[in-house]
Structure 1
Amino acid sequence: MKFGGSSVASAERMREVASLILSFPEEMPIVVLSAMGKTTNKLLLKCYFLIGCSYLPLRTVDELGVDKSVIAKHLEELEQLLKGIAMMKELTKRTQDYLVSFGECMSTRIFAAYLNKIGVKARQYDAFEIGFITTDDFTNADILEATYPAVAKRLHGDWVSDPAIAIVTGFLGKARKSCAVTTLGRGGSDLTATTIGKALGLPEIQVWKDVDGVLTCDPNIYPKAEPVPYLTFDEAAELAYFGAQVLHPQSMRPARESDIPVRVKNSYNPKAPGTLITKARDMSKAVLTSIVLKRNVTMLDIVSTRMLGQYGFLAKVFSIFEELGISVDVVATSEVSVSLTLDPSKLWSRELIQQASELDHVVEELEKIAVVNLLQNRSIISLIGNVQRSSLILEKAFRVLRTLGVTVQMISQGASKVNISLVVNDSEAEQCVRALHSAFFESEISELEKDYKSRNGSVA
């Protein structure tokens, strides 16, 4: 059972999470926690601006009646770390990972202490001490295969010798080479949970959020978004990769590899059914599953007659991005051109000056072999749905966007075959999402079904 930051944001929320855990009396769940709501952001703000604030963990400790000693050492270490950063006036990625790790380390200790206080035997674990081995890519590390046997050995061994509910820090790992604390990227606690699920061969992984499961679109863009009852691992992975905030992009991989169902639930509304994610589902009536928006994308149009009949042209193009460590999101090719978008999560995490320099370098290198047009302030609208109905989805989508007067600047279908991506101007993107949601999920859905039935005789 994984609980996000908003689920454990206060003493009251921690009590409610404890009740949820205890509502499974026949089970002994393993619990993964994020830092208490917004703690990661507050730690970074305190570091960047050296602001003073009433510290959330201490208030929560008082309200839960837990002994302050459970986090006293960490608060002392955190204070020393912040003083060191202020003195050096520098924050490396390695130090940043160590800094934000205090959030998870304290939330898990507070929660484990509270469970023990109310008579529920619990044991706290730091993920980086029980076998979570990662690459040395600070702020966005990948979990290595050696993690699975190490985690299984530690958690299973402790359970056999002394049964207790395990409370594990999400989001964290230990770098293979440097042995320093690493983080798995924002939302990485989901990946922690599915990794433990695979390591122990658990029957189900539950991810508890502050929404009623995976939704048909971002409710902040369109309040009429509805929960999606069922998803495949492929659909969930595409949703996460293209910007849905409910799941970490890599979190589906361990669950899919071990075929363990993932259930996304709402800790604020536990009776809601949520979303069940499995290897396969009934697609006979599915048209579109969800609409995802990724903003602030940079698009490149690369045109060259050298592409005609010449092998190695695309390899040269992508080698330029590889040299700079820039990820490509979406690609579309024709006989003499290639259009692509750059992953904003990888590019915009850098300093503004570095971003501009890298983009200039990319264009400069590409212009040696092609004509390049760089287009910024673009958005990717991803339509996740049934590949067997891709022509129907495209026809309907273009009809809607044409009515809005929106020009689609690029279209691509992913290798997973469950995603169609459309690139539009940032300024038009939210309007497009609202109109597409209305067309696919509301009054027009019956028309879609009629169209498909009339062309195919029945719904396939």
Structure 2
Amino acid sequence: MKVLKFGGSSVKNAEAITQTINIIKEYADQQDIYVVISALGGVTDLLLRAGYLAEANDSAYKKIINQLETLHFDIIKKLIPVTNQSGIISQLKIHFNAIESLCEGVFLLNELSPRTLSLVTGYGEILSSHILYEVLKNAGASVSLKNSRDFIICDAEKSVSVIYPVTYKKLLAYEQERIENIALFPGFIANTITGHPTTLGRGGSDYTAAILAASLNADELLIWTDVSGMFSANPRIVKQAKAIPHITYQEAMELSHFGAKVIYPPTIQPVLEKKIPIRIKNTFHPEAKGTLITENVNGHTYPVTGITHIDHITIVSVEGSGMVGIPGFSKRLFEKLYQENVNVVLITQASSEHSICLAIHEDDAGKAKKALDEVFEFEIEKKILKPTLVEKDLAIVALVGDNMYKHQGLSGKMFSTLGKNNVNIRAIAQGASEKNISVVIERNDVKKALNTLHERFFEVKTKQLNLFVTGVGNVGAKLLGQLEKQKEYLKKELHLKLKIVGISNSRTMCFDEHGISIETWKEHLAAGVPANPNKFFETAKHLNLRNSIFIDNTADPDIASMYPQYLNQSISVVTCNKIACSASLKQYKDLKGIAKKYNASFLYETNVGAGLPIIDTLNNLIASGDRVHKIQAVLSGSLNFVFNNYNGETPFHAIVKRAQAEGFTEPDPKIDLSGIDVARKILILARESGLELELEDIINDSFLPQNCLDSETVDAFYSCLKLEEHHFKNKLDHAKAANCKLKYVAQLDNGQAKVGLQEIPVNHDFYNLEGSDNIVLFYTDRYPENPLLVKGAGAGAAVTASGIFADIIRIGRI
């Protein structure tokens, strides 16, 4: 024999009820069954609201009752032939009259007693069970409708305390005499031993079904709902959550206690004692296997079974020297909360006994504080205890698993994973059985915490990076193209999924938490809102996504000034913008410090050599204990391109224009030709080497005439270059006469740095540097004579984009 329970979502409308009827008939064709029905979806909440409105002397309760009548009668009209409708409509009309009479009495008295509330809310299941009974009967099923209040008996003095011996006896007696194939019971409702109506609490239909299953020693209890079982996390919050095929009773109780809505915690107790399997099934996808709950899981040893959470939590803390070593202190505290009917969800106490921290439901915060301040009034007046502290807007997140105690380091993995994503833990609780590790966090961090932990413990193969991209000109557009081209490779080979969440240029910006299609990002951006760097940051902060990375493809100082704000939120920063790292030494150090403090990556490899691993190579040398003595480098791909192509036949200004057209220079080529760009690069390398230099410490021996440096516009700058052609020709001729080539060189030697145009002889490593290539020579303790050499393309949008791409991947593999 099986017991089937159908939740509110399974009977929310005519279509759902039709599907439920089909499932019932399929099981009934094979064996005798018991069926427990919840109220139609949302009906219990509406009945509650009607009762409270009546208590508040608000006649709007009548509209709710009319709304409920319409809902139920519409379903009857859709599911039952017109010739058979009068009987069921009459029955339901009697019940609605009773509801209206009860609410009218509440309205007149302005009082809603617990007994009246139980009567009113219990009508939801009575109404739905009558409808289902008539539909089954009209479908030719052999079915009887029983009143659960005749069978399930509770203690009148205790809340939801079923008297099992009496209840089981009544149900067994019915089983021995029943004739019908299907026994239909409304869930949720019961009677007290004194004969007064009561309910089994919210979610009590599950409890009704468990009581039936236990009393009848059923083969299986099937709970039909709108999800395909219990999930590794809430699928509405964690898109990658998966149905758990098989878990233990204890794991199911832990998950349901900590917020999993699929099953009601007390449900498990009656069937647990008799070891009756529970199966969670999806009414709308009955072919799905669902979740099987049993005493054991046949040797499966998954360390973490699921991740769950409770919202609307408040921490109440009592602390002070007046509780240290005082016998009975905890008794006074918990006894007072018991008297005030405050449920404690989580408890932690310092070993010093200096503080006790309690997590309670948000609705109980006010009365809990008042009660504790009263019971410890003397200690508070004597200042040996602080007034009760209350912290709101919190939530509890819990890892659950029977086998967690067998795996070392789970707590560490949990805490480090949350810490890396800037999720602050306010309290921690872990039982000696180690089946549950619970943490209290801020409520607005729940989504990020659940996704981060799920990724860590359940999505071993794929890590998702959420990208916020500012600047989609030459470099940014190339980067997005590379991301699109490599997305399958990244997922298959590196187990990384890159999701573009935000994009901005100087005019507009757009966001999509679920991901902006790289194929259509231009359309998304064109339809976006006006660009605003502050709002861009605020949106990234508000979305609060795990593994977030801010990518700056601009040369904007205002954007660079916002890096600390991102890093403060544990949002990593990847940038080709040199301004931040070449600003004041204090700002450089602050950025490094903030990144370290908040476990965020701050990567800027492209600041020096576009796609070349120059900074990474330098950092590896220093990390391995080597010491840098001297650095010589050609660090400007644009300047190298210009002097490699300037032969005296084509004017100098024309070569510069060509470099700009091919994307080798900034939009304002004076930035490149003035040497300031190279000065910033050698400054960054000097700082990475451990030197404390400012930009003004870099000697900049510019080759440009002063009047060109003073040009205020790009057009004026080109006009000046054209006017000063003889100046550039003279430098070229002088180099040729010495059998040298012109290269713009950056040098760091004995703590001093300088940049400038140099004549490079034939035997030098820089002499044959072609095109827009860069080259860096590191002279160190290990490479004193023959330097470590890094050489390759050092300019161009595609190369720079590839360097940014590499930094993103580096973060993903941390």
Same fold (TM over 0.5): yes
Matched with 1:423 is: 440
Matched with 1:377 is: 393
- Report 1:239-318 matches (<5 A): 239-282=255-298, 284-305=300-321, 308-318=324-334
Question: Partner amino acid for 2:75?
Answer: T
Deviation at 1:60, TM superposition (A): 1.4
Deviation at 1:429, TM superposition (A): 2.1
Q: Is the 8 A contact 2:247 2:291 kept in 1?
A: yes
Taking the aligned partners of 1:283 and 1:381, their CA distance within structure 2 comes to 27
Matched with 2:177 is: 158
Matched with 2:371 is: 361
Superposed CA deviations along residues 224-281 of structure 1, whole A, max 9, x for unmatched, are: 2110111111111111111111111111100111110000000011000000001112
Q: Is the 8 A contact 2:188 2:203 kept in 1?
A: yes
Partner SS state of residue 112, structure 2:
coil
> 2:352 aligned with 1:335, yes or no?
yes
> 2:70 aligned with 1:55, yes or no?
yes
- Report 1:423-442 matches (<5 A): 423-442=440-459
Partner SS state of residue 30, structure 1:
strand
> 2:48 aligned with 1:32, yes or no?
no
Taking the aligned partners of 1:21 and 1:154, their CA distance within structure 2 comes to 23
Deviation at 1:380, TM superposition (A): 0.7
Superposed CA deviations along residues 187-227 of structure 1, whole A, max 9, x for unmatched, are: 11111111111111111100011001001111222222110
Question: Partner amino acid for 2:370?
Answer: D
Q: Pick one of 124, 136, 139 that aligns with 1:103.
A: 124
Matched with 2:746 is: none
Q: Which runs of 5+ in 1 are unaligned?
A: 447-460
Deviation at 1:327, TM superposition (A): 1.7
Q: Which has the larger radius of gyration?
A: 2
Taking the aligned partners of 1:339 and 1:444, their CA distance within structure 2 comes to 40
Q: 1:339 to 1:294 in 2, by over 3 A?
A: farther
* More deviation, 312-321/355-364: 355-364
Deviation at 1:302, TM superposition (A): 2.5
Q: Which runs of 5+ in 2 are unaligned?
A: 54-59, 380-384, 464-814
Taking the aligned partners of 1:273 and 1:124, their CA distance within structure 2 comes to 29
> 2:87 aligned with 1:69, yes or no?
no
Superposed CA deviations along residues 32-65 of structure 1, whole A, max 9, x for unmatched, are: 0000111111222334242242521111122121
Taking the aligned partners of 2:109 and 2:168, their CA distance within structure 1 comes to 39
Question: Partner amino acid for 1:30?
Answer: Y
- Report 1:37-48 matches (<5 A): 37-47=41-51, 48=53
Q: Is the 8 A contact 2:188 2:208 kept in 1?
A: yes
Q: 1:444 to 1:380 in 2, by over 3 A?
A: farther
Question: Partner amino acid for 2:180?
Answer: P
Partner SS state of residue 146, structure 1:
helix
Taking the aligned partners of 2:72 and 2:415, their CA distance within structure 1 comes to 50
Q: Pick one of 15, 25, 39 that aligns with 2:18.
A: 15
Seq. identity, %: 27
Q: Is the 8 A contact 2:154 2:160 kept in 1?
A: no
Taking the aligned partners of 1:316 and 1:444, their CA distance within structure 2 comes to 50
Question: Partner amino acid for 2:33?
Answer: P
Q: 1:293 to 1:414 in 2, by over 3 A?
A: same
Taking the aligned partners of 1:428 and 1:276, their CA distance within structure 2 comes to 31
Deviation at 1:98, TM superposition (A): 0.6
Deviation at 1:284, TM superposition (A): 4.7
Taking the aligned partners of 2:106 and 2:175, their CA distance within structure 1 comes to 39
Partner SS state of residue 217, structure 1:
coil
Q: 1:368 to 1:42 in 2, by over 3 A?
A: same
Partner SS state of residue 410, structure 2:
helix
Partner SS state of residue 425, structure 2:
coil
Q: Is the 8 A contact 2:206 2:264 kept in 1?
A: yes
Please tell me the root mean square deviation across aligned C-alpha atoms, in Å: 2.3
Superposed CA deviations along residues 421-459 of structure 1, whole A, max 9, x for unmatched, are: 10111122222111111111113599xxxxxxxxxxxxx
Deviation at 1:21, TM superposition (A): 1.3
Taking the aligned partners of 2:377 and 2:451, their CA distance within structure 1 comes to 38
Matched with 2:417 is: 400
Matched with 1:443 is: 460
Taking the aligned partners of 2:317 and 2:408, their CA distance within structure 1 comes to 25
Q: TM-score, normalised by structure 1?
A: 0.88
- Report 1:86-165 matches (<5 A): 86-136=107-157, 141-159=160-178, 162-165=179-182
Taking the aligned partners of 1:307 and 1:391, their CA distance within structure 2 comes to 34
Q: Is the 8 A contact 2:316 2:369 kept in 1?
A: no
Taking the aligned partners of 2:407 and 2:346, their CA distance within structure 1 comes to 17
Question: Partner amino acid for 1:46?
Answer: A
* More deviation, 270-279/112-121: 112-121
Matched with 2:239 is: 223
Matched with 2:499 is: none
Taking the aligned partners of 1:322 and 1:41, their CA distance within structure 2 comes to 27
Q: 1:198 to 1:307 in 2, by over 3 A?
A: same
Deviation at 1:135, TM superposition (A): 4.0
Q: Is the 8 A contact 1:70 1:110 kept in 2?
A: no
Superposed CA deviations along residues 315-355 of structure 1, whole A, max 9, x for unmatched, are: 232222122221211112222234333442xx72x7xxxx5
Q: Pick one of 61, 66, 84 that aligns with 2:105.
A: 84
Superposed CA deviations along residues 65-113 of structure 1, whole A, max 9, x for unmatched, are: 1432342321221222232223333322221111111110011111112
Taking the aligned partners of 1:322 and 1:78, their CA distance within structure 2 comes to 33
Question: Partner amino acid for 1:62?
Answer: K
Deviation at 1:141, TM superposition (A): 2.2
Question: Partner amino acid for 1:399?
Answer: S
Matched with 1:237 is: 253
- Report 1:191-202 matches (<5 A): 191-202=207-218
Q: Is the 8 A contact 1:400 1:439 kept in 2?
A: yes
Q: Is the 8 A contact 1:130 1:154 kept in 2?
A: no
Q: Pick one of 185, 190, 197 that aligns with 2:206.
A: 190
Taking the aligned partners of 2:426 and 2:398, their CA distance within structure 1 comes to 14
Task: Count residues with an aligned counterpart.
Answer: 434
* More deviation, 112-121/52-61: 52-61
